[in-house]
Amino acid sequence: MVRPTHVTNSIRSLRFAHGEMTQADLADRIGVTRQTIIAIEQGRYSPSLEMAFQIARTFGVPLDDVFQYPQDDQDPESEAHR
């Protein structure tokens, strides 16, 4: 069973902010299928780090403008890294 990712993203809003780019257009630009873009947008798939950078570069924004990882205040690991 595949667990959904905790990573959220702003790909859909970035596509619309960049001339209403379609999922297929974005997929073509980074060399993946439209289904991959759909899965990433819906949080069902986390892209590789390389793919994440390609997506950010396509939109001309920093990586953390595209992908966000929520802070979990209950996680002792997150406390150690603050």
Query: Which of 46-62 are b and which e, b meaning 16 or more Cβ less than 10 Å from the residue's Cβ?
Result: bbeeebbebbbebbeee
This prediction has a pTM of 0.80
What type of residue is 44? Answer: R
The pLDDT value given to residue 1: 52
pLDDT, the chain, mean:
88
Residue-level pLDDT at 70: 85
For 43-64, the pLDDT digits (tens) are 999 999 999 999 999 999 999 9
Q: Which two tokens stand for residue 40?
A: 């990433």
CA distances (Å), origin 57, targets 2, 4, 15: 28, 25, 13
